[in-house]
Structure 1
């Protein structure tokens, strides 16, 4: 069985754009609405939104990449960019083979 991939993506809405960005997250939810994906959003006290996702495989990431990038492009005008022009701060990696609450063993 292929290791799952965890992804953590932080979005920083521009001042005054937080409500519109949160409404746009409904479209992201439609994209992420797949039975094998586990994901959630949290709002930091700084106003930043963090998406935490568990994707079952690298293949599943590739499958959803175009729709995800199209969504990100659609909210580009709502997001702060860093000095390099990035709209997000993101981390991802393979799930380690160690006991934890989200891991399902066959």
Structure 2
């Protein structure tokens, strides 16, 4: 009987795995032509970013950086996206984690 009480107590006291990093929130990026901005507010600071897609089921990193402190206009990058693929972006803004995902069709529209 004591065993049935001890096992749930162990799970309650151990907490959740992977602690420390808060989960990402959805936040879109601004795109116009070949320019993509993580923020257009001069007060916002970009900490890192990672842009990737999966051609033929293979993780492919398009562009990435880490440990930076970029504010507008440096929070904008020039990038050419290949048409016909879905892209994922993860980035840090003001110490919080965000993501965006989108598809570029064969005509180049998002």
Provide the TM-score with structure 2 as the length reference: 0.34
Q: Greater relative contact order: 1 or 2 (C-alpha under 8 angstroms, separation 6 or more)?
A: 1
Task: Give the structure with higher Rg (CA).
Answer: 2
Give the structure with the larger strand fraction: 2
Provide the TM-score with structure 1 as the length reference: 0.35
Give the structure with the larger helix fraction: 1
